[in-house]
Chain A
């Protein structure tokens, strides 16, 4: 599979050079890459799932290492792994249900099922999928109905897998790959449309004449604000520039073009202005499992100011930004420093520095991210709705399977 490897190296290089801007683009490209990997993966007759998982994991390891700060890559790799597991599981249960229907029960696992109403394979698959996930608010009602229809929930997909695999090997192998690719396409679709889904909720949070502060530039925030504008809400936006790249000015320009009442303020003036602000709405780089946010530099300051003035601090994040890891020393481990030339011209101070004596040294620090601890965040808005910081771990368990949290290690998975 030479072309796949070429793809992977290309992507690794792009990541290493920080050529991909924004976590959405990164996530999308990662998903596309993994899709090619999977589609080119030749599956053996036995143990197809493990093979697929291993292939994805191997590629994932490479691309995560290429730029460990770009957490979206890891997120997507984990999502894909989770998708594979899920699809396999639902296939297995569906196959089993089929077995139960056609051949009757020759297995102790199926004894309990026999007396229950026999269902279509699709319904069983759906039920199986829901069992992989622990109960959640979204599936609260669905679960009940499913349970009512299928009193004995299929419980042991993993064990029966070996047997069922032997039954319909070839067709299942093709089916699995096909389903996984379908699911990945869905994921890509989700990633692309996450802005719209988040923006749909704008009217619920933005009321007439509200004053909003944001810092730096985020596409999600732009869409969010514009969505509210389209719904004929009139409100004011203060945009802090976001040194050292001043992308806030671009955002402000864009907002002003769309007819929003926009004011640019310097980053330093955020504290002064925040007392007149009703809500802070910002984008994020990544959301950690504890609800902490890796955000563009400067947001820690803004969040502190917001807390001091009791202004809600709202973070917009697509689900691809949800990272199942817990931050440890995020200031160092989840941060990068950019070129000092964004702050000082190279030649400007060189005349002053005397390296021979070593006296007088100059460092320039230009970090990219800030870590905003969960207690400073009032609300997360994702595609699935608004969530508290403490609920993040729960969302994460929806999207990722616990086996994949550590990618590097090659664990002996249950499958």
Chain B
């Protein structure tokens, strides 16, 4: 690749630098080091950026990511994302090539071979990897897991790496004669469409082959660099073969991953149920445990969201307690508590759900002729769908469920039933303590430093994190006043107010309409969040946006407190596309919305643009109380 090409794309690509560095660089190096033929002269080490993370740990993970796009149903997404990276680079050459992962990774590797231009290359693949990681629902937890997975998987991965090497090498060769390359690429793109299904079929076979080759792979890798350099000259001759190879490589990679792959498909956030799609709603109804009567007065604007009569499910559920055999009592109890509103708040709901699952797992017995992994996953899914019927999941709960399912899927087959159950239970306990409780502690510790004597702090609704911050600051002896703003749907603020006044804080209570009246006095606004989405929007109780907006208008800094486990890769531009509808008051004609999105510009969240895939969050300081003053 000549520098003239590279420069523009580096400029164009807006992806922040740090993004690739953490996650994507290492794979590149490990894969591309060997194949990099054109610029093989600079040693691999030179391309290592100081921030890079040593490869072995992420190896598996990365390859997973690369492998994914070919297989996943969401492939169009990832390929387009890759395409954008490619087009800026050199559209003619690369666009057709992109769908198959191997070539594109090789091109980026070529760039990275040049130590000086490491970033440019890394970016290309970084963007792509990012894209491919989306469907996967790559919450940091799962990402972490990948690195921890048992040895068996690691070995298969290394095989993949090996097989990958071949096409890359070839590609590299062709880099010299770009005309040839274009031909292949068009070739490969033609094959692309039929290939997926074929590839999938082939995947199984390849997986087995891959496993066999595992041991060999280890050795190959070591000698990879030298081989590739040699190969460069030799292989330029057979472009057609290369395409084949690439396909094989892709399928092989995919094969290696089959269990997680399937698993991912399952717990990837499915396109959310759209309730204006009649056939699907019918289907869902047939499956439903709880019979819900649809609201008589459905609001046109929210047709795509479930609108049910509230309060009708509870007696129905209670009556059918003994018929709902598949639902564990603990889960059943939690579900009812959701339904009645006894448990609310993202953290509380999440913890309650996890504890119920823990109970359920404790009492779980593997049925005859079934495997624990499959059966338990199905069980958990059925619990989850029960809970969803009681009340739609919060994003934090969705993340926790995804975590649990991935833990179940990753259970080594060698474990006995009791060991597996014990490990799952301890995982759950760990999740609660690390991701929620500890996270809150860190948030409190950090946020308290933002409170000074004489401050007037405003908070909206009732956020457990904010409450802890306020109480902690009070314990530290800070002199401040709290303004609790409340609004009608639930009057959660009153509960918070009660707890604060009990502890001896001086409080002011008002309703949301008066927020513009009180905002003059306020020096800081603390808000809780249900989730932070990947486009940087904060998803929180309805009204949060109003408060943030008014604070912005009065130039008051807004601080949003959100634990990292609530982060989600979804994007949302408004609060209508996806939301949870509360119950319309009897008196009023129609619906009220519970959740709402807060536009980022108003919340002074420093998470500047979380365009980064959530994978990045793991590298960010774990708990994010991001504070910033709005300028």
Contact = CB atoms under 8 A, between A and B. Distances in A.
Query: Do A and B actually bind?
Result: yes
Interface of A: 241-244, 246, 249, 252-253, 256, 262-273, 275-276, 297-298, 300-301, 304-305, 308, 331, 335, 343-344, 348-349, 352-353, 357, 359-367, 370
**Which of the listed residues A269, A297, A353, A357 has the most CB atoms from chain B within 10 Å of its own CB?**
A269
A251 B14 CA distance: 50
Contact of A275 (B517, B576, B591, B593): B576
B504 A360 contact: yes
A362 B501 contact: yes
B589 A256 contact: yes
B542 A249 contact: no
Contact of A243 (B497, B502, B511): B511
Chain B interface SS verdict (over half): mixed
Interface in B493-538: 494, 497-498, 501-518, 520
Contact of B589 (A264, A297, A366): A264
A210 to B, nearest CB: 14
B497 A270 contact: no
A268 B517 contact: no
Nearest to A241: B488
B571 to A, nearest CB: 16
A352 B503 CA distance: 9
Nearest to B549: A304
Given A265-B592, A304-B550, A365 B502 contact: no
Contact of B576 (A272, A343, A366, A370): A272
Given A256-B589, A268-B546, A360-B503, A297 B517 contact: yes
A77 B8 CA distance: 72
A301 B299 contact: no
Chain A interface SS verdict (over half): mixed
A366 B514 CA distance: 7
Given A243-B511, A266-B592, 12 more contacts: A243-B487, A252-B589, A271-B543, A300-B550, A301-B549, A301-B550, A308-B599, A357-B504, A360-B502, A362-B497, A362-B509, A366-B511
A402 B498 CA distance: 53
A300 B515 CA distance: 9
Given A263-B589, A360-B506, A361-B507, A271 B546 contact: yes
16 contacts: A243-B488, A243-B512, A262-B590, A264-B592, A266-B542, A272-B574, A276-B576, A300-B516, A301-B513, A301-B515, A352-B502, A362-B497, A362-B507, A363-B507, A364-B509, A364-B510
Contacts of B579: 272
Closest 7 CB pairs of A and B: A268-B543, A298-B513, A300-B516, A360-B504, A268-B487, A264-B588, A359-B504
Nearest to B573: A275
Contacts of B599: 308
A365 B545 CA distance: 21
B509 A308 contact: no
A361 B502 CA distance: 10
Contacts of A265: 590, 592-593
A284 to B, nearest CB: 15
Interface of B: 299, 301, 486-489, 494, 497-498, 501-518, 520, 541-543, 545-546, 549-550, 553, 574-576, 579, 584, 587-593, 596-597, 599
Nearest to A242: B513
Contacts of B590: 262-265
Contacts of A275: 574, 576
A263 B509 contact: no
B542 A335 contact: no
B487 A267 contact: yes
Given A243-B511, A271-B596, A365-B510, A331 B520 contact: yes
Contacts of A305: 546, 549
A361 to B, nearest CB: 4
B504 A271 contact: no
B246 to A, nearest CB: 46
Contact of B543 (A269, A276, A362, A365): A269
A314 to B, nearest CB: 19
A349 B517 contact: no
A278 to B, nearest CB: 13
Nearest to B519: A300
A246 B488 CA distance: 10
B512 A268 contact: yes
B469 to A, nearest CB: 18
Given A343-B510, A344-B509, A349 B497 contact: yes
Nearest to B574: A275
Contacts of B487: 243, 266-268
A162 to B, nearest CB: 52
B465 to A, nearest CB: 20
**Which of the listed residues A270, A271, A300, A335 has the most CB atoms from chain B within 10 Å of its own CB?**
A271
A305 B552 CA distance: 11
B598 to A, nearest CB: 8
Contacts of A304: 516, 549-550, 553
B7 to A, nearest CB: 39
Contact of B508 (A243, A298, A365): A365
Nearest to A370: B516
**Which of the listed residues A246, A249, A256, A264 has the most CB atoms from chain B within 10 Å of its own CB?**
A264
Contact of A301 (B488, B503, B546): B546
Contacts of B497: 349, 362
Contact of B513 (A243, A264, A349, A364): A243
Contacts of B488: 241, 243, 246, 266-268
B510 A301 contact: no
B608 to A, nearest CB: 20
Given A271-B596, A304-B549, A331 B517 contact: yes
Contact of A272 (B486, B542, B550): B542
B589 A361 contact: no
A222 B383 CA distance: 49
B593 A269 contact: yes
A366 B497 CA distance: 16
A275 B593 CA distance: 14
Nearest to B592: A266
B348 to A, nearest CB: 21
A364 B518 CA distance: 11
Nearest to A359: B504
Given A263-B590, A301-B550, A367 B506 contact: no
